[in-house]
Chain A
């Protein structure tokens, strides 16, 4: 079989996959008696055509960058971490502990403390499945799924029985103190010239971008990153080269869990300012789609996170202004995962055939 040119493999395969997902989504919209063109107009209007819309799009994208990076790091070690959702929820607990029980003098310090708390809790939640995979050979996919459910139950318990303030009915923590409030885009000097209305996007966005650079540097510019990628490509080869499998599985999953947990500084600390039930609201799972779409590269992850931010905010607008239910975004999410993650072989075969056709045509012309 002919091989695809590198540019086609990097850019064309995900774009064609995305196109296929988009066409199928349009068919779904048609099938439920709605107008796909109107849908895309509403989505673009509501998420990209105003600073207010961008404020939401970037807010969602921030969460997805964290969870997408989390899945990416694990993927490079050959591990499929479906546990981002649970790790992000535990990260929320870490943020809540840091914000509620430590008297921070200023938000910058609170941000650092909360980020550490979130990463620590997320990493701790990933540590058990990682240990079981490394030492007892339990499949990480199954254990991380189980840990998602255990995390959900654990969080309900913590919110209802432990952290709920006396006399309150809602299963949430108390609102965090004023000193831990993170500036939103409309409160940051310079950026507030663009964002005049209150938006949920906050300084965490820049932390997410920094983390993308850090992950890139880690994976492609350090010895540890090389070991992680080598292990992911071929475990026997890595073992032969003296790389310790247990160490790599543990470290990769701890980083992955930590990244997923850090998402909580965006939604729990930056937006809700208290810990709610189901705080991650699916962002952990979207991380899978983001990592697959972004071809497991931090630049791709950031771009894919923006795309999914658009999809999330646009989908919410659809729910508001049209008869198309908000669940359309779950359908698109599923289609993107299907085409970019599971059917990439089909897309690649298709493209290879088209390229071969072009080549033979050119040869005949010559």
Chain B
């Protein structure tokens, strides 16, 4: 394989890993606080529709992203009220929200634009456009490193860089702040946190809301950066891949980044079956590449690659002792 082809694939790896990464970190907050969230997919989808529609009306990708976050927060709020306030089944709530999102987004987009459930194509400032990083043009002729910087690192939209910044921020919040310590504690042993005089419900709600904000960014990225507008079911299972990555990473932020990059790499490969064929010398069916993240996750879940142990209090509503 030529170096230029590799750079192309790594470039699309970064682009495709970003929505996974944002959704994965989103899920990390919720699940670390003890609220399982299989509704990442639905929140991303709602955010994609909201940001696509508002970006079209306002002509600004940033306003669109805010709308996406707003839409995602509404769904996160429903999840929180259901799972925390009414102590409902968190998994079933997630499934329900995914269906709601899948239907509502098409209904609203069809009502607003009448284009078969899509939003109109976005252009110009209504999209997050590529940013050329400093010196990228200067160093592009330097072999290996320079072209890597120019082709792979530079030339992405703001949200891509934001996503990697959020990984660092999340690491810091989780392991270096009081909030992070409490968040991890409430997912393992809520009774202890309660005894220490910290509100379990409040902590969990805050985590679920952070999940909403990050899923909002993930959806906005889908509709206004990766593609130009919202399309029916456009997240195409990415919420579940993000969930898989979260398990793969054993609920840790930096490992989550590597997992998402790996799964993004698989998605990039699935777009270039010709390259895969040239490298392994055998015809690899595309569906096989599509299924790889899921198969790998099953292997991780099975404990063949180190054991993935979820937060201990995950999935169980907390009932205060009386």
Instruction: Report A's interface with B, CB cutoff 8 A.
Output: 28, 31-33, 80, 82, 128, 132, 136-139, 141-143, 145-147, 149-150, 153-154, 156-157, 160-161, 285, 288, 292, 324-325, 327-335, 337-338, 341-346, 349
Contact = CB atoms under 8 A, between A and B. Distances in A.
Given A335-B100, A338-B96, A343-B88, A142 B285 contact: no
A154 B287 contact: yes
B104 A331 contact: yes
Given A149-B294, A338-B97, A331 B92 contact: no
Given A136-B303, A345-B88, A337 B99 contact: yes
A165 to B, nearest CB: 18
30 contacts: A31-B111, A80-B92, A136-B302, A138-B302, A139-B310, A142-B243, A145-B243, A146-B294, A146-B298, A149-B290, A150-B291, A153-B291, A156-B290, A288-B92, A292-B92, A324-B107, A325-B117, A327-B102, A327-B103, A330-B99, A330-B103, A332-B103, A334-B96, A334-B101, A338-B78, A338-B100, A342-B82, A342-B89, A342-B92, A343-B82
A331 B107 contact: yes
Contacts of B291: 149-150, 153-154
B93 A153 contact: no
B288 A327 contact: no
Interface string B231-273: 0000001001001100100000000000000000000000000
A154 B88 CA distance: 34
Nearest to B102: A330
A307 to B, nearest CB: 16
B313 to A, nearest CB: 14
A327 B301 CA distance: 34
Interface residues on B, range: 35 or more
B295 interface: yes
Interface of B: 38, 78, 82-83, 86-93, 95-104, 106-108, 110-111, 117, 237, 240, 243-244, 247, 285, 287-288, 290-291, 294-295, 297-298, 301-303, 308, 310
A327 B117 contact: yes
A150 B93 CA distance: 24
Contacts of A334: 96-103
Interface of B is mostly: helix
B106 A342 contact: no
Nearest to B83: A342
Given A149-B240, A338-B100, A161 B285 contact: yes
Given A161-B285, A343-B88, A142 B117 contact: no
A328 B107 contact: yes
Given A32-B111, A80-B91, A327-B107, A147 B287 contact: no
A335 B100 CA distance: 7
A338 B288 CA distance: 34
Contacts of B287: 153-154, 156-157, 160
A243 B102 CA distance: 41
B177 to A, nearest CB: 29
Contacts of B104: 28, 331
A337 B301 CA distance: 27
Nearest to B310: A139
Contact of A136 (B237, B297, B301): B301
Given A150-B295, A338-B82, 9 more contacts: A28-B107, A138-B302, A139-B301, A141-B91, A145-B38, A327-B117, A329-B103, A330-B103, A346-B86
A314 B240 CA distance: 30
